[in-house]
Chain A
Amino acid sequence: MKVQIVKDILSANEQIALENRRLFDGKGIFVLNVMAAPGAGKTSLIERTIGLLRARFRIGVIDGDLASTIDADRIARLGIPAVQINTGGACHLDANMIRSALPKLPPDEIDLLFIENVGNLICPTGFALGEHLKVMISSTPEGDDKPYKYPGMFSAVDVLLLNKVDLLPLLEFDVAYFRRGVEALNPDVAFFPVSCKTGEGVDEWVEWLVAARSKLWPSS
């Protein structure tokens, strides 16, 4: 006997992501899903952003990695609540992992939540977490051809930061070629060249982030 189903296999994840989103909206937690290749500067960007926003918002961080608590320890040293998710070998976070991690933070005492996804340019885009913004970091040592090689992620994000621009004089990185690729794939994306080392460009990113939150919740 044949049973017709025609159902999206990832719909279970989508459903949990929707529930996460309702919970975030109900509690007034603005959530960013930060995605990048390993070493692009996800934790560094979060640290920089915390430095500029901790006086205005109560911040929390969920860190995803295959192993270790190195990232959550870095954040915890700043006095910011951090939860480490060790995925074992999984290449992305999913909505259920976020649902499980959330009670470990004090969710009633968070206004801004960074979810640092597993370093990977492929799989994380397929798994919604319930976030308000998808943030991507690409870094100059990775090369200017990345939009052409990983179009899926570049086309799926709301904001793109090009990190490590302080290294540009040392690299053969054609910023115009990189930006042409990005703009073709994702004409509406917000774009910020930054250096988490020198702090260049970070103010502009933070200003944009605060404005994005205000646009969603004008009164808070």
Chain B
Amino acid sequence: MTSAPCRFSTPARFSAVLIDSAGRIATMHELAVTQSMLNLALEHAERAGAQRITHINLVVGEIASIVDDSVQFYFDFISKDTLAEGAQLSFKRLPARFRCSACGQEFPLRDGNWICPACQRLGGEVISGREFYMESIEVE
């Protein structure tokens, strides 16, 4: 599921310029995303003069490429010694919905396929399902 943070070393014979992502140890998709989420929560908690964040309520679309367990794993790690340490994450899943570009029918994801049930056409406009936002936080 998730791998331990690591950074690869580069053999000295290579000559091109090497940089990493602004000095942070970035590993996997969800770490960067979780860091953004934590920053947003801390910003709002500080603005509210809070001592502690107890809950973070997240909304995640069905096709947003966000794995809940992975976010939780990184969150527990990077929230240490912040106002958000120990906060409960809750994930509200929003189903994906599409609008068929051929017949206009709206439809959900069916067995993982973006296929219109009315005319069997693949694809269509994504109406919802790509969301990943913070709805609210609960603070003390």
Give A residues with C-beta under 8 Å from B. 1-10, 12-13, 66-69, 72-73, 76, 82-92, 94, 96-97, 100-101, 104, 122-123, 126, 147-148, 151-152, 155, 180-181, 184-187
Contact = CB atoms under 8 A, between A and B. Distances in A.
Nearest to A149: B112
Given A89-B26, A123-B29, 10 more contacts: A5-B41, A6-B136, A7-B134, A69-B15, A73-B15, A76-B16, A91-B29, A96-B21, A126-B65, A152-B63
Contacts of A94: 21, 32
B27 A148 contact: no
Contacts of B6: 88-89
13 contacts: A1-B140, A5-B137, A9-B33, A68-B10, A82-B16, A86-B20, A88-B6, A89-B27, A97-B19, A97-B21, A100-B22, A147-B122, A180-B122
Contacts, number: 155
B133 A69 contact: no
Interface string B27-48: 1110111001101110011001
A67 B19 contact: no
A74 B114 CA distance: 39
A3 B19 contact: no
Given A3-B44, A7-B134, A8-B133, A69 B25 contact: no
Contacts of B139: 1-3
Contacts of B16: 69, 72-73, 76, 82-84
